[in-house]
Structure 1
Amino acid sequence: MMGSRALGEVTISQIVPRPGARHKARGLGRPGTSKPVAAWILPGLVMAALLVAATALSPGAFAQGGAQPPATSSPAPAPADGSPAASRAAEDLPALVPLTGNSGDAEDVMLPEKPAAVLRGGESTWDDGFKNLTESFARIQDALAKAGLKPAGRPLAVFLSADDTHFRFEAMVPLAAPFPGGGEIAPGITAGVTPSGRALRFVHKAPYDEIDTTYEAITAYLDSKNMVAKDAFIEEYSSRTMDPDDPDLEINVYVQPK
């Protein structure tokens, strides 16, 4: 699978990396410890990225009812086609910052603080990463539906730390307005806010198996600019498709400079 596209000053060569190269491509190479994400970068690099393993999903995966947090109970059956939850998943929900349509450039953006439903304490193995992230999004959406609330933005994953086998994250879904009264929306899901402030946005628009090349380019771009990133980073998942083999799969990666 060949081809290339520009990311800022860096060209992404779209060659699916060998599985053993994925952790190396994202700066993970120190066994036995758990550190903030940016601390895994090799000397001279300033950003680390985390692997979420591609698992086949339906386009309505966001809205599958009863999905549970990682490493707990198994999810309930997905809603039938045409159900309110499935319809919500098909909506083209807005990004945190309006998209320009140019997937080749690193964009300097200002993330607005938005109210959100937040699932904290997420943890996953690399192999189950994408599955557990999407199940976390589904659990939040199910809780919002039961509370009579609608998502007002694309699901987000904030990656906090990692080691050779696991990573820690928070999952969140933006809301149009703060949850009345704040506090807990459902067991394990609380009212919160999305990350805010200056960020660089990099757009991955390709099958999921090619995301490693995007992260390699992000790391090289930041290094070329001598930029130091915050420890956490953000992925924003498009609601238009969640098929990992779709060439139009879109994931926005936000990196916040220190």
Structure 2
Amino acid sequence: MTETNPGPAPDIKTAQLKEQPTAVVRETVPMNALRDFFGRAFGAVTGAVQAQHVQLAGPPFALYRGMPTDVVDVEAGFPLAAPFTNAGGEATTVIAGTLPAGQAYEALHMGSYESLQHTYGAIMERMREDGVSPGEAMWEYYLSDPGAEPDPSKWQTLVVWPVA
């Protein structure tokens, strides 16, 4: 599997999502600064959630609003077992959010983050085939920790793209 040969096409499934409370940090970030943003955001959210004694309900995620260009409107954080109360006064402001309910397409991406566009392209093609339009926001659950698994070919990212 390489950038030019991304491997087998992802298995794309439809899902009916339930609304999920989250705690996030939202910013407009240059694409080449996402790694630093994620480290800062995930750390800030973890601290704020622990301070409120709210349990995490899933892996870290990033929600993207609109199609990314050289900058992206992104929020990064965690799904929660209970609603979060906005925490102010921090250098990185953690806010309450939600992952929306509705119909979506999901695909498990195996490999580096740099090859995620192949999975997004496959989902978009499937949406076209099914006669539906992609929503304005999509998100990725990061199922692998690059700090614990240094081999990018083993990284797993669940891509979720709601229907408009």
Q: Tell me the TM-score normalized by structure 1.
A: 0.53
1:207-222 matches, cutoff 5 A: 207-222=112-127
Is there any run of 5+ residues in structure 1 with no aligned partner, and where?
8-104
State the Cα RMSD in Å. Answer: 2.3
User: Secondary structure in 2 aligned to 1:6?
Assistant: coil
- Alignment partners' CA distance in 2, 1:244 and 1:257: 34
1:250 Cα deviation after fit: 1.1
1:155-174 matches, cutoff 5 A: 155-161=60-66, 164-174=69-79
Contact 2:60 2:142 in 1 (8 A): yes
- Give aligned-pair identity as a percent: 25
Moved over 6 A (4+): none
| Residue equivalent to 2:158 | 252
- Alignment partners' CA distance in 1, 2:62 and 2:113: 16
What is the aligned counterpart of 2:8 among 5, 8, 14?
A: 5
- Alignment partners' CA distance in 1, 2:77 and 2:21: 10
User: Secondary structure in 2 aligned to 1:131?
Assistant: helix
Greater radius of gyration (CA): 1
What is the aligned counterpart of 1:113 among 14, 19, 39?
A: 19
Q: Indicate the structure with greater strand content.
A: 2
Alignment of 1:140 onto 2:143: no
Contact 1:140 1:172 in 2 (8 A): yes
1:1-258 matches, cutoff 5 A: 1=2, 2=5, 4-7=7-10, 105-120=11-26, 122-161=27-66, 164-179=69-84, 182=85, 184-186=86-88, 187=90, 188-238=93-143, 240-242=144-146, 243=149, 245-258=151-164
- Alignment partners' CA distance in 1, 2:17 and 2:56: 18
Is there any run of 5+ residues in structure 2 with no aligned partner, and where?
none
151 and 206 in structure 1: CA distance in 2 versus 1, 3 angstrom threshold: same
How many residues are treated as equivalent by the alignment?
156
1:109 Cα deviation after fit: 0.9
